[in-house]
Structure formats: C-alpha cells, structure tokens
Chain A
Amino acid sequence: MPVTGLVAMALIMLLAQCGRQPRKADEVTYNTHIRPILSDKCFKCHGPDASKRKSDFRLDTEAGAYAVLKGQADKHGIVPGHPDKSEVYLRISSEDPEYMMPPPESNLSLAHEEIELIRKWISAGARYEKHWSFIPPAITEVPKVNNDSWPANEIDHFILRKLEEKNLRPNDIKYDAFLLKRMMHDITGLPPDIQMQDEFLSDPGSQKYEAMVDRALASPHYGEKMAILWMDIARYADSHGYQDDGLRTMWPWRDWVIHAFNSNYDYRKFITWQLAGDLLPDAGMESVLATGFNRNHKITQEGGVIDEEYRIEYVTDRTNTVGKGLLAMTFECAKCHDHKYDPISQKDYFSTFAFFNQVNEKGLYGDITVASLADPPYMTITSRDKEGPLKFLSKADTGAVRVMIMKDSLRKTYILDRGAYDHPAAEIGVGTPEAILKYDTSTYGTNRLGFAKWMFDPKNPLTARVFVNLMWQEFFGRGLVRTSGDFGLQGDLPSHPQMLDWLACDFMTHGWNIKRLVRQIVMSSAYKQTSVVTQAHLDNDPENVFLARGPRVRLSAELLKDHILSASGLLNPTIGGPSIKPYQPKGLWEAATSGRGQLATYVEDTEDKRYRRGLYHFIKRTVPPPAMLIFDASNRDQCQVSRATTSTPLQSLVLMNDRQVLEASRYMAYTLAGQISDENKLITGLYRKILCRLPKKEETKAVRQYYSEVLKNMDDQKARAILGFGGHKLHDGADTKTVASIMQVVQMIFNLEETSMR
C-alpha cells in the first residue's frame, strides 16, 4: 500500500473513531475537524487570551491566522491553499525541538492524522467558521429514511438516518415490562406498581403506552424526579457549607421547583422567575421565592474571614452557575484572565458578574455561634402564606421559615485584576459575551430581568439547545452534546447537530413547553426500542452514541433508594417539607465537626419520615450522605450538570449492608410470609414488585433452590439475630425462620444488577 493510502486509511479510522464522518473523504471542515484540534492544542497560547498570547500570533480568528507574522515580513501563519508556505503547517510538521509546535515543554503534541487534516484544510483554502453553538439554531428539514415503519416521530428520522448511513439497524420496539419500568423511572422516578403493570401488559401497544406516559406526566412525582436534576444544577443543600457548616432553610425553594415542574411552567417562566422573579412588574411571593436559586451557593460562617473576599466568592458562584447550568459556558475560566479557548474576555466575565453583584449582602454575618438559617436578604414565610400564595408548600413545619432570596441595591462593579477581590481595576457596566449575543441595554435593561430577556431572545443561540440537551441526557443517559456543561470550543461536538437544532427550534416555537418535550422524547422509537446489547453494538458503537439500542442506565443514588423503598411497600410518598435524616452509619458528623452549630450531631429521624424519597435526604455539605455519594450523587459544592455512573465495590457493600436496604427486605419478607405455601407465587410477586416483570422459569427455579438452602441452615437464634433491628414495627404471628429466610431472598433480588438499572 502506498504511503498516501496508509494516511488515508489512518484518516478514515480516526474519523470512524470520533464518529465524525465527512460525506466525501476529502471534505475537511473547520468546525468539525480543525477547530477541535486547534482549540485543544494551540489556543492556550495562540487564542483569545490576549495577555498570554505568544509571539502576538493568534490562530482562533481568520484575520489573525492569515496576517503577516510579527517581525517576519515574508511569513504568515496560514497561507490559504499553501500548507508549505504556512508557518503553522511547517511548525506542526517539524521535529526540530526549537522550531516545532506545540513546543515540547507544553506536554502537548499532535497526532500524524491531525497534522494531515490541517494540511488538507489549508490546501482547500483554510476557511474559518463561526463556532457551531454561537450560530442560532435553524429549523432543518426532517431527513428521509429508508425504513419508514420504524420512526414514531421526528426524532426517529434523525436517529435512523444516521444509523442507516452507518449500516446499523435499530433494535425492535417491544411494549413490554422493561419499557414500562424505564419510562416510569424516567418520568416519575418510581417503578410501576402491580396494577399499572397489569393494565399495561393486558393490552400492550402504542396507545396504551401513550396513556401510561400521560398518566406518569400528570403524577405529582414527575416534579420530584425533575427536581433532582435541578437541585444539582442549583447546588441545593441544607447547610451553608464551609467549615462550621450550619443549618440553612432553603427547602421552600426546592418545593417551588417541584411545584413549577408539576404545574408545567414553561422554561422561560421557570428560568425568568429564578433569575429575576423579584424584578417582575407583577412580582409576588412565589416569583420572589424562585430567586432563591441564586442564593443556594455556600456561605461561610468562619469567624475572622475577610468579608469582601467571600462576598465576591458568592457573586462568582452565581455567575458561574448561570454560565454552566443555563448557557453551558465555562464562564469561570474568564474570571482571572481572558478565556483561553472561548471568546469570553475578562471584561465580559465581569459585565455578567455585574448582574449578580447587586445583592445587598455581606460575606459574613457572624460566625456559627450566632447561627443564621438565612442570611439577608431573605423572605419570611408564615403559615398564612402557606394557605395563600404559597399553597404548594408543605405544612409539616408550622413555624415561620426564612428563605434567602434576591433583592438588589446599587453597587458598582469593577473588573478584578487577576480575579482578586482586593484588586479592583476599571469600573464596568452590565453585559454578556458578545460572541453569544450582543447585550443591548436599551433593549433588555440593566438588571437581572434584562439578563433573562437576553437569554430568551429568540436569537440567543444557546438557551434552548442547552436545555434540550439536558433533557436528552436525562432520558438517554448522555447528552447529544456529551459535555452538557460546555458548549464552548473545548466541548464535544453534537452527535446529531441537525436534530439538536430541530429540537431546540421546536421547543421554542411551542412555547418552551417542558412536558411536551419530555413526551416527544419518551414517545420516540429511539427511546422505546429494547436495550438488548449485541456484539455488533459493542463493535460499532460501544457507548451507544447513535442509539441502535435503547438506553440502559443505572438508577441515580436517589432513585435507587426510591425504587427499593417503593418495591418493598415502605415508601412514604409525602411531597416536600424540611429535609429528612434517614439511617446513616453512626458518628460521621460527630467525627468531622468543630462541635459548633446545630449540625454537630446527626439526629436520625424516626417513624416513616425515614422512608421518604431520596431527594429529601438532608445534605450537609461538609459531610454529605455517604451512601448517596458512593452512588455518584453530587456533593452540592458547585453547580453540576451531569453525574458519573461508576461501578465500585463500595456500591456493592451499600446494597448488601445498608440498613435502609435491610429494613426494606425485612419489611417485604413480613408482608410476603403469608404466601409461603406457594413458593412460585411468592417469587413471582417479588419479581413483579422489584423487577417489574415476571420471572423466567430458570430464575424461579434458582430462587427456590436458594430459599430452601437458606431455610435449611436457619435456626431460631439466627433468625432472631437477622430480624432483630429496624425501626418499623412488625406484626407478630409469622414464623421467624421463614421470614428471615424470605428476607435473604428479597435482599438478594435487591442486589441484582437489573434492579439498579432502568
């Protein structure tokens, strides 16, 4: 094979690996092929950050790249059409350590395939393109597909078109128990009960499925499920964070989020209220409560800190949260210097910062000894308010509650030199990065409400895309843009760019209707197809980027808990109210505390408070609930837009030994002990409740064997030891040996891999 053939081979392999296949082998485009390389390997020194730019040469703009090099009148970084005259190509292909780029000391290097791509791109004219996410989404035509019986809606046309291009076949659609379980978990966070299963499986089909979807969307548990994602983004917690980490009362804000999702507030209202509900012309208690979003950041209670240092931290956190969570931009990189990759200058950063810098607040309101549950500005919610404008709030806590909210006063904002609180430089007004969308104060105004208007300007290229992507991630386990918090130059490219744009436009033209979007997703064949994995899947698309199979994702920490409680019958489905303290290994708070404040010791809740859903777990930031963190829950330190799904031995230990799981097993064993005369029936019941499906013959046989083995080795003493714990009262009369043995069976089924998946 000639050398050029080898290069072409390597190129094809690289492209196949990245999943970016140009239609023609020699079609190299800036956005798809070149920018990811330049951004990752070159822009750090030759990009937007003017202060760190080397040799005054910038490669992120056409003008900069084509210009005459400083001090070298006859040389240009790039000469379109002529790689051999382009200093960029000559240097990246050189092996001379004095001359080559990137320089050896940067620890960065380009692969041969990457150098070859750049050569081709320069040969073809080195055409630059605006970064994809800064171009407003345009509605695209829904692509045609060969197999038109598979698609259920527009989503499927986009998905199937890609699959057909890659010669991949999607899985079958089966209206079976697996699908029902997946959909119910995704929408309500709870498994379908036996009645639902019966109803669905008696007449399985598209119509029945649709009816089930609508029922799930109407369930009040939908809001709870969606709130989990939003609590991560909003870094919600029940303590202030930092070292003494006292109690705070932000739960009414969390309950508002549940309420907002359940009432299907459109996304524009949902966000506008959170950003600027206090500034609306018709602001009311509810819209003001929503602004608590901006106050969920950590607050110090360490005596002796420098007030302004921390106040700046809070404003920074607000700015970064909005950047990452709502715009998928890594704003924080531009606080100390111009962004190294994205067109966000330090000036841009502080102009956005200015919106959130008006709060009439201090860095420290006194240390933990004068513990404040809510630092000013705050609102006070009385029991009367809970009868009136805030009817959705839990009435469990009858006293008045203070919740931190937004309230502006006028404060000047300065660019902070190197981001340091004590180095104010030039004064600056409000604004946003122009590369996203120019901020015109006469159109939008100069406060947070203006910022919200800017976000929802139809020309804003990010807002709709970012949220649609988050929702996709919620249902498919991974975003269309995998880096759901970074749509910038260093972020991943969308796997289905046209579909992302189509969905974003469709979302906007239909009034930012969230439930409608969710419905669209779960009604698609892409979602409904089975998640069976074949060798061909693993060979061609191990990460399931192209969705030739349905999503199979591990339940989140909260949902796993909910699932076990719900299946066992122990779940207390109460919605909202102050967070709860369930079982937790003893001594964790006590070992870490300074001894000051209300959260020095962990006082476990009693009765069925412990069996509330996982999203109500009390989050003390400095000692977050260990079982939750082991299953990748957020520590709520900062805004987080996606969670990892790891698999570790500590997770197995939790499933085997966490009291919550044991207690659910024990409770379930008691409730089922009466059916022991028919073992098959009992096992079927267990499978239906826990796995939401019927057991296979071989499974029933295996479980029966296990049960009889356990029973054989059981004696009274052992049974009493096994059952002798737990707060839930159990009725007498059942044979302890039988119950203890059934408990082992239940426990094993809770530990099945399938139980934690949906």
Chain B
Amino acid sequence: MNHPFFEHRLNINRRHFLGKLSVGLGSMALGSLLIKDLFNNPGQVSEHLMTGLPHFAPKAKRVIYLFQNGAPSQLESFDYKPALSRMFGQDLPESIRNGQRLTGMTANQDKFPMVGSYFPFKQYGQSGTWVSDLFPNMAKIVDDLCIVKSMHTEAINHDPALTFMQTGAQQGNRPSMGAWLSYGLGSENQNLPAFCVLLSKGKGNGQGVYSKLWTNGFLDSKHQGVQFSNSEERVLYLHDQDGLTADDRRKMLDKLNELNNIGFEEVGDPGIRDKIGQFELAYRMQTAVPEITDITRESDSVIRMYGPECLMPGTYASNCLLARKLSEAGVRFVQIYHQGWDQHANLVGEMPMQAMDVDRASAALVTDLKQRGLLEETLVIWGGEFGRTNYCQGPLSADSYGRDHHPRAYTIWMAGGGIKPGIVYGETDEFGYNIIENPVHVNDFHATVLHLLGLDHEKLVYRHLGRRYRLTDVAGKVVDDIIV
C-alpha cells in the first residue's frame, strides 16, 4: 500500500498548496493570554476576580481528552480477568452484585451469566502490563501510560454518566472541564479558541453526543467549547464567501473600523472599541485556523504513525493528529469524542472494529507528543463514561455475548502532563466487578486533572445564583499516587 499512499498524499498536497496561495503565510502570535483573559469582561471582574492563578506550579499546560463515547469494555481491554473465563456461564453471586442497581435493559434478566474476554491478553513493557490483543499499538506504549483500573461513577446510563464525566454533575447545565480550564487559565494562543471539540464515529452501536458536554454552563459564553466541523471549514463561519479574497476582507475591515470609530466619537461607548478588536481577532483566526488544521503539511513519518485514515477528515485518526496540532499551537483543552462503544450485544463482532479505529492513532498521539518533547506538558486521557458488566446481556455463547453498563469499576488511562508513566493503579476483584484497591471517583479524577494544571479544585470557583460552584462540587481528592 506504500505507493498509492504517497501518491494520494502528493495529490492532497498539490491541491492544498494551490488553494493556499491566496491566503498567505501570516505568522501566528503565540502570545500568552494567561490571566488576562479573566479581565476582559468588566461586568464579571468585581465578583469573580481570582488572583494568583494558577494556584501552584502546573505540571501540565494542556489537555487532550480522547473520550470513548458509549463506554468501552474494560474486560476486553485492560482489566484482565482469567477467572471470568473459568466461570463461563455461571451466575454472578448475589454477594458480589451486592445491591448494585441495574439498568432497565438487564433488570428483568433472570440470570446474570458471567463471561470472560473472548480476546486473549498478553503482558507488555517493563511494567509487564496486561493488554488485550485488540490494542496492539497501545500495548507497545504501556510504559508511557498510567492505567487506572479503579474508576467508578454514580450514573448508570449514558446521558447522565457522560454529563457527569464532563461537567461533574449528572444533571444541570454545569460548565464542562474544558470550559473550567478556559475560565481558569485562559488561552495560550490569541488566535484560537481555548477549548476545541472534535467528533468522530465508529462502526459499533453508538450513542449521540450533545453540546451540553462542552457547554460553558453559567460561565461566560467565550469559554464554550468550539466544535470543529469535519468539512473543509473547520471552525463554523470561518471562511469568507466565494469570490472574496483576504485582501477584500482586509479592506472591508479597514473601512468598518473607520466607520465604527466615527460612531465612537459620537456615542463614546467603549464597547465599540472592543468590537473593533473582536473583528481583528476574527480576521487573524481566518488565517491561523486553516494553517494549523492543515494536516497535509505533516511529515510522512507522522502520517505513517497515525495511519492512512488520518488523511481523511472526520476520522478518529485525523482528529488525533489535529488535536496534536491544536494543542501544540496552545489550545488549552482539546476534547475528542469517538462514538460507537456501546456493546450491549455482539461485543465480539463490534469491539475489534472500534479498537481498530482508535488503537493506532491514540498510541501515535502519545508517541508523537513524546517525540516533540510535548508529552511532559500535555496530559492525554483515554476512556469512557463507565464500564461494562462482567455478566452477559442477552443470549450467551462462547463466541457471542454483550455487556450492559457497569458504574462500579472501569478503566481509563492517562499519559504525560505529570502523570507517572508505566504504572497500573487500582485493582478490581477476580470477578472484575468491584474495586478492591484505590478507588478513583469521578470527582477525584477531576480534582487530579485540575491539580496537574496547577489549579486547586477547591479554589477554582465561580459564584452563580448565590452559590460558589466547583467542577468537583463538594467532593474530590487529588490522587497523589499517580502524580510524578
């Protein structure tokens, strides 16, 4: 496949090169907006003034969150439970289930037959970490990862669980993690949004995503995640209409500024000056975004690392590469969602396809960041909203089963950004059902992420309707054990 691969790249490069001539190669200002960002809305200052941010020296400057939407099974990925295979078909003991509520999908099942992973596991790296055969590329980088096998959550269905993972509350219009970081730390790059969102779909049973997952909630709307589209126009409304050149736009803005200044002379509203500034910022974004999102300029070795799919906009691989580029350019929080991980049935058929979508590119992202010396300051997170049951949903046979939602234990991994590499944290029982060591609640996870970014989760607050809100609400403990 080598030859067509290069031919293809070449064509894309040619097209882009010709298309880009008119845009020019304006340079990007990487001026830091730290703190300053908090002050540009006078209405908020008196009430929400926070001095001394970050609260202490940050380990990470940026986050890339590879969200596996729908909840990938921990039992077919990182939480190796050979005992489950031995107990194939046996009913889950009541003593283990121990009052755990069930979703409406399996609540009426009269039996809960246990089933182990169809896919074999092997040990990898110096750490000897078990990884299933579905994730060969992630397996190769286990020594860079911190695998947390003891995540647990309170929600049992997708919508509330996803919302909990992203905003710290199951219900309610609370700001998401990225919005909190944008609010707390601002943007490192004036020409790009501080919080970017990239979507892709897998081939497995999927659940939708919703803009409340990247909402600003009660924070100022500039902290809202900016959803990138998978079309040529990455940021909505970015491109000038056909026929117009950047020069035409510049002339329009010059005249607009002149007229706005005439208005300012008469009305004196400082908001007019601000508006002029916003138009200039928009103009700079029009140049900066296409330059940063142009993946065709990446070297062949990078393209090979992420795999040929990365050249197709809208794929997970393409979004991973784009995430690296945005992050490298100073975007504080890049949120990726990959749909299709909801294997209630046909797990054996669907999970390999899902793994194929994400395995290579997720590992490539970590390696790529490492090679660029960026991994130390970039926190990468991989995982879903809950785990999956150790028992089968629906008909069970040796090579066909499904798994329902399981909030009590699931696995995520983190890398870079001050996280200890090459460790496995937390442990579940031999049934893979309950946590027996080092539980990490969603609030703890949030507290830890904020901590890595130099923020005290109890101090990053916003007063809204008479109350001080936090990402971690009233709980959360930093998991010191996984921090370098």
Q: Is A243's CB under 8 angstroms from B158's CB? A: yes
**Cross-chain contact of B212 among A554, A630, A635 (Cβ < 8 A):** A635
Q: Is A722's CB under 8 angstroms from B226's CB? A: no
The distance in angstroms between the C-alpha atoms of A305 and B235, with both chains bound, is 35
8 Å CB contacts to B: which residues of A342-364?
A: 342, 364
Given contacts A532-B267, A591-B230, contact A748 B252 (CB under 8 A): yes
Query: What residues of chain B lie closer than 8 Å to A632, measured between beta carbons?
Result: 221
**Interface flags, A610-644, vs B, CB<8A=1, else 0:** 00000000000111101101101001011000001
**Cross-chain contact of A591 among B46, B229, B259, B275 (Cβ < 8 A):** B229
Query: What residues of chain B lie closer than 8 Å to A304, measured between beta carbons?
Result: 103-105, 157, 404-405
Chain B residue, CB-CB nearest to A108: B468
Given contacts A532-B268, A635-B215, contact A491 B210 (CB under 8 A): no
Most buried by A among B226, B243, B459, B467: B243
8 Å CB contacts to B: which residues of A5-61?
A: 17
Query: What residues of chain B lie closer than 8 Å to A489, measured between beta carbons?
Result: 466
**Cross-chain contact of B263 among A554, A623, A705, A754 (Cβ < 8 A):** A754
Query: What residues of chain A lie closer than 8 Å to B43, measured between beta carbons?
Result: 543
The distance in angstroms between the C-alpha atoms of A698 and B255, with both chains bound, is 12
Query: What residues of chain B lie closer than 8 Å to A447, measured between beta carbons?
Result: none
**Cross-chain contact of A648 among B101, B201, B221, B244 (Cβ < 8 A):** B221
Q: Is B211's CB under 8 angstroms from A624's CB? A: yes
**Cross-chain contact of B211 among A330, A486, A623, A719 (Cβ < 8 A):** A623
8 Å CB contacts to A: which residues of B239-282?
A: 239-244, 248-249, 251-252, 255-256, 258-260, 262-263, 266-272, 274-276, 278-279, 281-282
Chain A residue, CB-CB nearest to B103: A304
**Interface flags, A289-330, vs B, CB<8A=1, else 0:** 000000000001011111100000100000000001000001
The distance in angstroms between the C-alpha atoms of A656 and B282, with both chains bound, is 9
Q: Counting CB contacts under 8 A, is B285 at the interface? A: yes
Most buried by A among B210, B248, B275, B278: B210
Query: What residues of chain A lie closer than 8 Å to B429, measured between beta carbons?
Result: none
Chain B residue, CB-CB nearest to A478: B43
Q: Counting CB contacts under 8 A, is B172 at the interface? A: yes
Query: What residues of chain B lie closer than 8 Å to A511, measured between beta carbons?
Result: none
8 Å CB contacts to B: which residues of A734-758?
A: 740, 744, 747-748, 751-754
Distance (Å) between the CB of A17 and the closest chain B CB? 8
Distance (Å) between the CB of B258 and the closest chain A CB? 6
Query: What residues of chain A lie closer than 8 Å to B458, measured between beta carbons?
Result: 107
Q: Counting CB contacts under 8 A, is A413 at the interface? A: no
Q: Counting CB contacts under 8 A, is B156 at the interface? A: yes
The distance in angstroms between the C-alpha atoms of A107 and B276, with both chains bound, is 39
Given contacts A646-B220, A702-B258, contact A719 B243 (CB under 8 A): yes
Q: Is A753's CB under 8 angstroms from B208's CB? A: no
Given contacts A585-B229, A587-B229, contact A302 B243 (CB under 8 A): no
**Interface flags, B50-73, vs A, CB<8A=1, else 0:** 000000000000000000000000
Give the contact stretch, choosing among A452-460, A512-520, A592-600: A592-600
Query: What residues of chain A lie closer than 8 Å to B156, measured between beta carbons?
Result: 306
Q: What's the interface size class on A, roughly?
A: 35 or more
Q: Counting CB contacts under 8 A, is A124 at the interface? A: no
Most buried by B among A324, A341, A542, A593: A593
Query: What residues of chain B lie closer than 8 Å to A699, measured between beta carbons?
Result: 259, 262
The distance in angstroms between the C-alpha atoms of A710 and B245, with both chains bound, is 12
Distance (Å) between the CB of B213 and the closest chain A CB? 9
Q: Counting CB contacts under 8 A, is B173 at the interface? A: yes
Given contacts A592-B199, A721-B243, contact A652 B269 (CB under 8 A): no
The distance in angstroms between the C-alpha atoms of A220 and B183, with both chains bound, is 42
Query: What residues of chain A lie closer than 8 Å to B157, measured between beta carbons?
Result: 300, 302, 304-306
Q: Counting CB contacts under 8 A, is A677 at the interface? A: no
Distance (Å) between the CB of B24 and the closest chain A CB? 17
The distance in angstroms between the C-alpha atoms of A483 and B105, with both chains bound, is 43
Q: Counting CB contacts under 8 A, is B296 at the interface? A: no
Q: Counting CB contacts under 8 A, is A654 at the interface? A: yes
Given contacts A623-B210, A638-B172, A722-B241, contact A483 B281 (CB under 8 A): no
8 Å CB contacts to A: which residues of B133-171?
A: 156-159, 162, 171
Q: Counting CB contacts under 8 A, is A270 at the interface? A: no
Most buried by B among A17, A585, A627: A585
Q: Is B465's CB under 8 angstroms from A330's CB? A: yes
Q: Counting CB contacts under 8 A, is B49 at the interface? A: no
Q: Is A490's CB under 8 angstroms from B207's CB? A: no
Most buried by B among A305, A552, A594: A594
**Cross-chain contact of B269 among A242, A552, A587 (Cβ < 8 A):** A552
8 Å CB contacts to B: which residues of A709-736?
A: 709-710, 713, 718-722, 724-725
8 Å CB contacts to A: which residues of B396-429?
A: 404-405
Q: Is B237's CB under 8 angstroms from A654's CB? A: yes
Q: Is B267's CB under 8 angstroms from A531's CB? A: yes
Q: Counting CB contacts under 8 A, is B222 at the interface? A: yes
Q: Is A725's CB under 8 angstroms from B241's CB? A: yes
Q: Counting CB contacts under 8 A, is B472 at the interface? A: no
| Total interface residues in chain B, CB < 8 Å | 85
8 Å CB contacts to A: which residues of B306-359?
A: 314, 339
Query: What residues of chain B lie closer than 8 Å to A422, measured between beta carbons?
Result: 101
Q: Is A242's CB under 8 angstroms from B274's CB? A: no
Q: Is B199's CB under 8 angstroms from A330's CB? A: no
**Interface flags, B101-142, vs A, CB<8A=1, else 0:** 101110000000000000000000000000000000000000
Q: Is B101's CB under 8 angstroms from A313's CB? A: no
Q: Is A653's CB under 8 angstroms from B285's CB? A: yes
Q: Is A722's CB under 8 angstroms from B275's CB? A: no
Q: Is A533's CB under 8 angstroms from B269's CB? A: yes
Query: What residues of chain A lie closer than 8 Å to B207, measured between beta carbons?
Result: 243, 594
Given contacts A532-B266, A534-B268, A657-B238, contact A302 B226 (CB under 8 A): no
Chain A residue, CB-CB nearest to B340: A594
Q: Is B208's CB under 8 angstroms from A244's CB? A: yes
Given contacts A587-B229, A646-B222, A753-B260, contact A542 B42 (CB under 8 A): yes
**Cross-chain contact of A652 among B251, B281, B314 (Cβ < 8 A):** B281
Chain A residue, CB-CB nearest to B212: A637
Q: Is B467's CB under 8 angstroms from A662's CB? A: no
8 Å CB contacts to A: which residues of B193-243?
A: 193, 199, 201, 206-212, 215, 220-222, 224, 226-227, 229-231, 233, 235-243
Query: What residues of chain B lie closer than 8 Å to A333, measured between beta carbons?
Result: 466-467
The distance in angstroms between the C-alpha atoms of A663 and B404, with both chains bound, is 49
Q: Is B260's CB under 8 angstroms from A594's CB? A: no
Q: Counting CB contacts under 8 A, is A1 at the interface? A: no
The distance in angstroms between the C-alpha atoms of A316 and B193, with both chains bound, is 35
Query: What residues of chain B lie closer than 8 Å to A303, measured between beta carbons?
Result: 104-105
Q: Counting CB contacts under 8 A, is A682 at the interface? A: no
Query: What residues of chain A lie closer than 8 Å to B173, measured between beta carbons?
Result: 635, 637-638
The distance in angstroms between the C-alpha atoms of A303 and B207, with both chains bound, is 11
Q: Counting CB contacts under 8 A, is A340 at the interface? A: yes
The 5 lowest CB-CB distance pairs between A and B, nearest first, are: A490-B466, A721-B243, A622-B210, A652-B282, A722-B243
| Besides A330-B466, A635-B212, 17 other A-B contacts (C-beta < 8 A) | A245-B208, A300-B159, A305-B157, A330-B467, A486-B466, A491-B466, A622-B208, A622-B210, A637-B215, A649-B279, A653-B282, A653-B286, A657-B238, A698-B262, A710-B251, A721-B242, A752-B256
Could you write out 7 A-B pairs with CB less than 8 Å apart? A304-B105, A307-B104, A485-B465, A486-B465, A585-B236, A657-B237, A744-B248
